[in-house]
Amino acid sequence: MVTELTEQQREQARVDTVIKEIDRQIEGAKQALAAAHQETRAVEQNYSENASINRYEIDDIAESRSEIEQQRQLVARASENETILAHQLDTLKQLRAQPYFGRIDIQDPGQAEAESLYIGTASLMNEDRTDFLIYDWRAPIAGVYYNGTLGPVTYQTPAGTQRTTLVKKRQFTIHDGQIENMFDTNETVGDAMLQAALGRQNDQTMQNIVATIQKEQNDIIRNTTADLMVVQGVAGSGKTSAILQRIAYLLYHARESLNADQIVLFSPNLLFSHYIASVLPSLGERNMRQVTLPNFLARRFEGLQVESLFDRYETRQQSNAPHPVADWLEGAASMAAVKDYVDQLANSQAPLQFADLTFEGRTLFTKEAIASIYHHQVAKMTVADRLVKVKNALLRRLQHLATTEAKRDWVAKELDTLSNQELHALYGQKTIDDFADEQAQAAYLARRWAKKRLRVVADAIYNNYFLDFHALYRQFLLHLPLTGPITEAVQQQLATDFSHGVEFHRIKLVHTAPFLYLRDLLTGGGQNRSFQYVFIDEMQDYSLATLIYLKHAFPDAKFTVIGDAEQALFKPLELPETLLNRVGDALAAKHPRLIALRRSYRSTFEITTFAKSLLPDGDEITAFARHGDPAKLQVHYGQAAWQTGLIKAVQAMQQRFPTVAVLTRDQEEASQVYHHLYGQVTDLHRLSEEDSQLPSGVLILPIYLAKGLEFDGVVIANVSAAHLGDQATGLLYTMATRAMHALTMLTLGPVTPALTGAASQYLTIEPPTEPQR
């Protein structure tokens, strides 16, 4: 004991020394930042003064332009410098609270003594910059901390595999500069520290897992070679945590060539986006971009309202009954059919569909005229290339047209109504003195005005509005190959439904991927090459067609796709291996890596044991040994008793935890539950799709909005057969696994069959409060 204390004191003394050095560096960084700030202000001021003089007096002198450009660059450099220093200061401040969490002692071959290295969220050098006081967790040698057990170990460096011997591994919990706990371990990352991390109460935002990354998670985080990584991980296995750590890792290792704006994460909903938003900043990195699929689609379907998974779920169009036609459209076959169809269009086996280009109700170019331009192009070219030629030809014709239009009455009439200011703007660079006579001046203005007004037509040409994509897609549906569930009647029905939707400015989700793919392949557009990494969370909610489309839309990106087949809310349950292989095949890659995570960390042992027993292959899941109360089920047979039970269950949870989630199947149920609880519990919130922040208190939300989230205590409002139906396994599993510490379910009437099997033995069942009638 005495030696342990001495050891801790010795470590504390080191922490104190490191903090002293951090304080010194903080002071230096503050001064440098203040100086940089002044410098930025000075160059900015200089720039704005010069720029304004130049704009009014010597606008056309090229020399002054280049001077301005030079100064603009100076401003940019100064402010970049300031940003870097501010970032350094933030990192130092973060280190000050918790300088490091791990220590490894390694003995390199041929060395007499072991060397101690300390691992933290960022690197820190000593004053004379000769030694690392802290190693960044992403440094190659730090891999040993996460992967190695004592004895000979290897780690990867840019120079190849290195060997060393790990002689000690120590973990620390340091809070505000004080060591609260420390112990030596031989495990990869010891259970005790993980226990402590997992036993914490939930915060409103996700925490990083840097101090306790597990070996299997480390494989996901530190992989830089795969161009496709597919992770199938059971609920609470740390998929989301691992990919966020992975992003931080990638940013560190490609500082020069990768920045956070070149990474995009598709997240399931806005609440989730917000929930995870502080993880990267806590690791000293800027956040990647985030988008939800509905947002992504909305941007590509301007003018059409795109059905979302939530809409589809709420309106019950997608019950768990089989939907062979929708499944076909959402599978890889429909995307292959799009490609075939584009080939047919290229060979003129099917006609392209053009649209008239109109201006103020007048047709400027008829679809026949546009078709004729198209057919005059060399037939060997791709459709996209021929369309570019059409585009250019149309733009040229539009220019001519502007000259003729300028002589028309409407132009003169409109010019008469212009204000002085508008007229002034129309002169552009010219002044009255530049014209020989009034006629020349009027002609100039008319031409400028006509051009300006015809700009909308030019934009329409740029955006390929001379093609009728709706008609083309309809035609595609009528050409679908007659295989599987597709019959002639189905073709007709799909085409009619599609056109009907478009009439009301709506498009169903099943059509989005094939439609966009068709549009992009025809026009050669829609691809974004600026993204280097695309991450997709909750992959089980994406159709294969959508995944294939995303791969097409981000052609230069490496993909990391994560999810859990068994958290299927929107379709029937699938076995994890099946999903893993299906997604792997659809996103065919040169260097794919498929990973399965089977250990669940979020919930107590009791909750995980219950949740996994709901599943057909639940034995594959390992529960982490953190203990708590068994999951509870309250059985009621009358509405009044159920309501009272619900209020009591929520109140009981609220006494234990600051945040309690009441999960429902959908919004309608959420609204009913809200009415029952209103006035009975404090701090009550009902969350909707538009919400982006998680308040504390009692939160009522449909399960699809709780995807990826976790709560200290969870109450599931009604698990009856009548309410959830008999295909509720995925739904119930997802709900149950949102709970970290406590789970209570209620049922009004007999429970769903999902609960009657093995799962019931892991429940504490509270007897009915009323006899069954």
**3-state secondary structure labels for all residues of 641-678:** HHHHHHHHHHHHHHHHCCEEEEEECCHHHHHHHHHHHC
Distance of closest approach, residue 191 Cβ to ligand ATP, in angstroms:
11
Among the listed residues 15, 85, 141, 213, the single contact to ligand ATP using CB under 6 A = 213
Q: How far is CA 643 from CA 632, 637, 671, 683, in A?
A: 16, 11, 14, 18
Among the listed residues 124, 174, 209, 516, the single contact to ligand ATP using CB under 6 A = 209
Task: Give CA–CA dist 577/596, Å, rounded.
Answer: 8
Tokens in use for 664?
Answer: 């429902």
710 contacts: CB under 8 Å, gap ≥ 6: 202, 236, 602, 738, 739, 740
Q: Annotation-wise, does 524 bind a ligand?
A: no
Task: Give CA–CA dist 90/88, Å, rounded.
Answer: 5
Q: With beta carbons less than 8 A apart as the criterion, state whether 81 and 43 touch.
A: no
Chain positions 656 to 715 lying near ligand ATP, rule: CB under 6 A, are 708, 710
- Which CB atom, from 166 or from 206, has the smaller least distance to ligand ATP? 206
Distance of closest approach, residue 198 Cβ to ligand ATP, in angstroms:
6
25 is a site residue for ligand ATP (CB under 6 A): no
- Tell whether the torsion through CA atoms of 728, 732, 735 and 737 is positive or negative: negative
Stretch touching ligand ATP by CB under 6 A, among 209-217, 296-304, 322-330, 478-486: 209-217
Among the listed residues 98, 123, 237, 659, the single contact to ligand ATP using CB under 6 A = 237
CA-derived radius of gyration, the chain: 32
102 is a site residue for ligand ATP (CB under 6 A): no
- Which CB atom, from 532 or from 737, has the smaller least distance to ligand ATP? 737
207 is a site residue for ligand ATP (CB under 6 A): yes
- Which CB atom, from 238 or from 645, has the smaller least distance to ligand ATP? 238
Task: Give CA–CA dist 73/64, Å, rounded.
Answer: 14
> What is 455-469 written as a DSSP string?
HHHHHHHHTTTTB-H
Among the listed residues 88, 171, 737, 752, the single contact to ligand ATP using CB under 6 A = 737
Distance of closest approach, residue 769 Cβ to ligand ATP, in angstroms:
32
Among the listed residues 102, 143, 238, 702, the single contact to ligand ATP using CB under 6 A = 238
Q: Annotation-wise, does 378 bind a ligand?
A: no
64 contacts: CB under 8 Å, gap ≥ 6: 54, 58
- Which CB atom, from 91 or from 567, has the smaller least distance to ligand ATP? 567
- Which CB atom, from 196 or from 443, has the smaller least distance to ligand ATP? 196
Distance of closest approach, residue 574 Cβ to ligand ATP, in angstroms:
15
State the number of CA atoms in the 13 A half-sphere of 234 facing the CB. Answer: 26
Q: Annotation-wise, does 239 bind a ligand?
A: yes
Helices (H) and strands (E) in the chain, counts: 28, 26
- Which CB atom, from 40 or from 664, has the smaller least distance to ligand ATP? 664
Q: With beta carbons less than 8 A apart as the criterion, state whether 374 and 352 touch.
A: yes
**3-state secondary structure labels for all residues of 587-607:** CCCCCEEEEEECEECCCCHHH
Distance of closest approach, residue 208 Cβ to ligand ATP, in angstroms:
8
Task: Give CA–CA dist 670/267, Å, rounded.
Answer: 23
In DSSP terms, which residues pair with 599 in a beta bridge? Answer: 622
269 is a site residue for ligand ATP (CB under 6 A): no
Distance of closest approach, residue 242 Cβ to ligand ATP, in angstroms:
7
Chain positions 598 to 627 lying near ligand ATP, rule: CB under 6 A, are 601-602
Distance of closest approach, residue 276 Cβ to ligand ATP, in angstroms:
9
Q: Annotation-wise, does 612 bind a ligand?
A: no
241 is a site residue for ligand ATP (CB under 6 A): yes
Stretch touching ligand ATP by CB under 6 A, among 237-245, 404-412, 614-622, 684-692: 237-245
- Which CB atom, from 270 or from 472, has the smaller least distance to ligand ATP? 270
Pairing status of strand 763-766 against strand 659-664: unpaired
Among the listed residues 92, 106, 198, 623, the single contact to ligand ATP using CB under 6 A = 198
Q: With beta carbons less than 8 A apart as the criterion, state whether 660 and 713 touch.
A: yes
Distance of closest approach, residue 79 Cβ to ligand ATP, in angstroms:
35
Provide the phi-psi class of 506: left if phi over 0, else alpha when psi is between -120 and 50, else beta: beta
Q: Annotation-wise, does 584 bind a ligand?
A: no
Main-chain dihedrals φ then ψ at residue 634, nearest 5 degrees: -105, 130
* Residue type at position 670: A
- Which CB atom, from 596 or from 721, has the smaller least distance to ligand ATP? 596
- Which CB atom, from 64 or from 207, has the smaller least distance to ligand ATP? 207
Stretch touching ligand ATP by CB under 6 A, among 174-182, 204-212, 323-331, 681-689: 204-212
98 is a site residue for ligand ATP (CB under 6 A): no
Task: Give CA–CA dist 23/19, Å, rounded.
Answer: 6
Tokens in use for 465?
Answer: 């509005």
Q: How far is CA 615 from CA 533, 559, 609, 735, 744, in A?
A: 33, 29, 11, 13, 19
Distance of closest approach, residue 109 Cβ to ligand ATP, in angstroms:
31
Task: Give CA–CA dist 61/440, Å, rounded.
Answer: 27
- Which CB atom, from 142 or from 461, has the smaller least distance to ligand ATP? 142
Pairing status of strand 357-359 against strand 362-365: antiparallel
Q: Annotation-wise, does 160 bind a ligand?
A: no
- Which CB atom, from 546 or from 737, has the smaller least distance to ligand ATP? 737
- Tell whether the torsion through CA atoms of 17, 23, 28 and 32 is positive or negative: positive
Q: What is the DSSP letter of 665?
A: S
Q: Annotation-wise, does 240 bind a ligand?
A: yes
Helix (H, G, I), strand (E, B) or coil at 694: coil
Closest by CA position to 476, among listed 328, 368, 350, 332 = 350
Chain positions 513 to 572 lying near ligand ATP, rule: CB under 6 A, are 564, 567
Main-chain dihedrals φ then ψ at residue 507, nearest 5 degrees: -135, 135
Among the listed residues 18, 85, 142, 235, the single contact to ligand ATP using CB under 6 A = 235
Stretch touching ligand ATP by CB under 6 A, among 234-242, 485-493, 663-671, 718-726: 234-242
217 is a site residue for ligand ATP (CB under 6 A): yes
Stretch touching ligand ATP by CB under 6 A, among 43-51, 212-220, 300-308, 669-677: 212-220
Stretch touching ligand ATP by CB under 6 A, among 17-25, 168-176, 232-240, 523-531: 232-240
Residue least distant from ligand ATP (Cβ): 238
Q: Annotation-wise, does 278 bind a ligand?
A: no
Can you give the binding site for ligand ATP, defined by CB under 6 A?
194, 197-198, 207, 209, 212-214, 217, 233, 235-241, 564, 567, 601-602, 708, 710, 737
| Residues in binding site | 233-240
| Residues in binding site for ATP | 233-240
